[in-house]
């Protein structure tokens, strides 16, 4: 039997971090079974039953976010809204079979029921007043809703692949609305019908849906359909332990992209947030597909930890192809340098990326450090760098300029030897010579190996930058 999973976001906002993890787990589970089992498919369904809450750009954000993360879905994304007629048909079928009924309650009546329940400290639910009432009593001018005639005794049990066996007293569940007064389906009906029609075998979603699983189970039973396997994964909380709400870093996935995180870092982080494979931390996409299983998902909610994500991001940056990083960094440089990239910038970036990426944890950080290869002369030195080229620093630079001019083979070994020779002759530590050089050539006190920088910058640029500084003083 082939495994079919689905990611079913509602297009109300953006694809946030929790949704991304849910999508990732669904994708991995399907892929795992496609490659190591008897087949697997990952589907995408937009839950836009309520047109009021449908936003086209939100749908685009979901597509973009999933694509960026590399979570491709099989076939076309399905819009739940387009299936409304099918949903209504099922509701009517249930009605005909006597498993559902018309309810003519007004919103006001429902509100009273809720208030009363609250006052008595009971769970707020519909009292079933139209369940067995004669349809002839129907008031005129009220469009009835269709409610499920849910079982009133016994209990409903679900076997959750993450949470284990979970049961609830049927007395705790009321007769839910299947079809609204205007004939449109509710979420509860739509998910069941769609999951069934799409042949979804495993429903993997946030455990805020755990309670819904009971009600959906009742609908499946009423219809006589097979119930899919459920796997309710714990929610992700903010760093302060509170729910990841709009106020708590529930940023869209695009915000993480803008902050300079790589998709593979985010996926690796999200994978480990709530799932584990022994002590493994760095897990490639292929390993994830091979190892992923529902049993290894933790049951407690996890807090989002930006530090760990950042650390992982640094790892993936170091591992990235230099050319990819150059492509990612150039637009950022164009922005920070206001469009004035030095003409040799790109080729220097390619040569220098290996040394640069070793030191960055995010793309903006990488771009900032890469400025040293893209800036046009004369450089503006920051405060600390400026201090280094004053006084004795300046004297060393003066001498160093001559030493560098004499270097024949312009490569970092030869350059380092020249500077070391100078330091020896001046009886100073290498750092006393290297730091002023770094300051003058990069405008800052931190950079990759200064000899590597000198080599990449090239003789003309180096002597030019040195002269800029020496002339200024």
**Residues involved in catalysis:** 246
Q: Per rule CB under 7 A, is residue 242 in the interface with RNA?
A: yes
Binding mask 370-409 for RNA (x = CB under 7 A): ----------------------------------------
Q: Per rule CB under 7 A, is residue 201 in the interface with RNA?
A: no
Is the Cβ of residue 207 or residue 264 nearer to RNA in the bound state? Answer: 207
Q: Per rule CB under 7 A, is residue 13 in the interface with RNA?
A: no
Task: Give φ, ψ of 164 to 5 degrees.
Answer: 85, -155
Place of tokens 């705790």: 172
Chain-centroid distance of CA 12 in Å reads: 17
Using the rule CB under 7 A, give the single segment among 33-41, 48-56, 132-140, 332-340 that binds RNA. Answer: 48-56
Place of tokens 């996409």: 285
Is the Cβ of residue 125 or residue 138 nearer to RNA in the bound state? Answer: 125
CA–CA dist 11, 24 (Å, integer): 18
Using the rule CB under 7 A, give the single segment among 87-95, 221-229, 352-360, 459-467 that binds RNA. Answer: 352-360
Q: Per rule CB under 7 A, is residue 296 in the interface with RNA?
A: yes
Q: Per rule CB under 7 A, is residue 118 in the interface with RNA?
A: yes
Binding mask 420-449 for RNA (x = CB under 7 A): ---------xxx--xx--x------xxxxx
Candidate residues 235, 251, 334, 470; the one interacting with RNA per rule CB under 7 A: 235
Q: Per rule CB under 7 A, is residue 414 in the interface with RNA?
A: no
Which residues, 248 to 287, sit near RNA by CB under 7 A? 272-274, 276, 278-279, 281
Q: Pairing mode, if any, of strands 78-79 and 100-103?
A: unpaired
DSSP assignment string, 347-379: HHHHHHHHHHHTT-SSHHHHHHHHHHHHPPSSP
Q: Per rule CB under 7 A, is residue 25 in the interface with RNA?
A: no
Query: Is the CB of residue 376 less than 8 Å from the CB of residue 416?
Result: no
Using the rule CB under 7 A, give the single segment among 67-75, 222-230, 241-249, 457-465 that binds RNA. Answer: 241-249
Candidate residues 35, 60, 86, 123; the one interacting with RNA per rule CB under 7 A: 123
Q: Give me 343's structure tokens.
A: 């003409």
Using the rule CB under 7 A, give the single segment among 205-213, 332-340, 370-378, 460-468 that binds RNA. Answer: 205-213
Q: Per rule CB under 7 A, is residue 472 in the interface with RNA?
A: no
The residues that bridge with 205 in the sheet, in sequence order, are 232
Candidate residues 6, 47, 71, 439; the one interacting with RNA per rule CB under 7 A: 47
Is the Cβ of residue 188 or residue 463 nearer to RNA in the bound state? Answer: 188
Phi-psi map region of 183: left, alpha, beta (phi>0 left; psi -120 to 50 alpha): left
Is the Cβ of residue 39 or residue 154 nearer to RNA in the bound state? Answer: 154
DSSP assignment string, 295-340: GGB-SS-EE--HHHHHHHHHHHHHHS-HHHHHHHHHHHHHHHTTT-
Q: Per rule CB under 7 A, is residue 320 in the interface with RNA?
A: no
Is the Cβ of residue 58 or residue 71 nearer to RNA in the bound state? Answer: 58
CA–CA dist 387, 450 (Å, integer): 18
Q: Considering the complex, what minimum distance in angstroms separates the CB of residue 186 from RNA?
A: 4
Candidate residues 321, 358, 398, 413; the one interacting with RNA per rule CB under 7 A: 358
Q: Pairing mode, if any, of strands 202-206 and 229-233?
A: parallel
Task: Give φ, ψ of 166 to 5 degrees.
Answer: -130, 130
Using the rule CB under 7 A, give the single segment among 57-65, 91-99, 119-127, 256-264 that binds RNA. Answer: 119-127
The residues that bridge with 237 in the sheet, in sequence order, are 243, 303
Q: Per rule CB under 7 A, is residue 291 in the interface with RNA?
A: no
CA–CA dist 30, 103 (Å, integer): 40
Task: Give φ, ψ of 412 to 5 degrees.
Answer: -65, -30
Span between the terminal Cα atoms of the chain, in Å: 78
Q: Give me 438's structure tokens.
A: 């770094």
Q: Considering the complex, what minimum distance in angstroms separates the CB of residue 247 from RNA?
A: 11
Q: Per rule CB under 7 A, is residue 181 in the interface with RNA?
A: yes
């Amino acid at each position: 039997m082939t495994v079919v999973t689905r990611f079913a976001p509602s297009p109300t906002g953006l694809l946030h971090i929790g949704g991304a993890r849910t999508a990732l787990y669904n994708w991995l589970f399907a892929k795992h079974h496609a490659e190591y089992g008897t087949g697997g498919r990952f589907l995408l369904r937009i839950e836009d039953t309520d047109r009021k809450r449908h936003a086209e750009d939100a749908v685009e954000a979901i597509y973009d976010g999933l694509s960026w993360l590399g979570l491709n879905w099989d076939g076309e994304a399905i819009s739940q809204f387009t299936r409304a007629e099918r949903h209504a048909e099922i509701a009517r079928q249930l009605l005909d079979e006597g498993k559902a009924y018309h309810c003519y309650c007004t919103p006001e009546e429902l509100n009273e029921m809720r208030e009363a329940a609250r006052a008595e400290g009971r769970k707020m639910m519909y009292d079933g007043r139209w369940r067995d009432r004669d349809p002839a009593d129907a008031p005129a001018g009220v469009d009835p809703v269709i409610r499920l005639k849910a079982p009133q005794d016994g209990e409903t049990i679900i076997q959750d692949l993450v949470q284990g066996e979970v049961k609830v007293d049927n007395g705790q569940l009321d007769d839910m609305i299947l079809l609204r007064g205007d004939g449109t389906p509710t979420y509860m009906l739509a998910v069941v019908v769609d999951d069934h029609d799409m042949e979804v075998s495993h429903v993997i979603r946030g455990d805020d849906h755990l309670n819904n699983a009971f009600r959906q189970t009742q609908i499946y039973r009423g219809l006589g359909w097979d119930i899919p396997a459920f796997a309710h994964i714990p929610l992700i909380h903010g760093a302060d332990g509170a729910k990841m709400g709009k106020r708590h870093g529930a940023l869209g996935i695009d915000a993480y992209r803008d902050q300079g995180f790589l998709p593979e870092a985010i996926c690796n982080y999200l994978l480990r947030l709530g799932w584990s494979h022994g002590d493994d931390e760095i897990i490639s996409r292929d390993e994830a597909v091979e190892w992923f299983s529902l049993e290894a998902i933790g049951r407690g909610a996890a807090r989002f930890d930006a530090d760990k994500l950042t650390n992982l991001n640094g790892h993936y940056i170091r591992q990235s192809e230099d050319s990819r990083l150059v492509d990612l960094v150039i637009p950022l440089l164009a922005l920070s340098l206001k469009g004035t990239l030095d003409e040799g910038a790109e080729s220097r970036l390619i040569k220098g990326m290996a040394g640069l990426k070793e030191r960055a944890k995010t793309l903006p950080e990488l771009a900032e450090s890469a400025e040293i290869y893209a800036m046009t002369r004369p450089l503006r030195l920051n405060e600390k760098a400026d201090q280094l080229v004053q006084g004795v620093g300046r004297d060393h630079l003066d001498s160093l300029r001559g030493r560098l001019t004499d270097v024949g083979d312009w490569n970092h070994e030869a350059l380092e030897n020249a500077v070391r020779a100078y330091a020896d002759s001046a009886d100073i530590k290498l750092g006393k010579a290297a730091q002023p050089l770094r300051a003058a050539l990069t405008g800052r006190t931190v950079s990759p190996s200064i000899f590597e920088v000198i080599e990449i910058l090239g003789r003309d640029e180096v002597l030019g930058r040195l002269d800029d500084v020496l002339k200024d003083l």
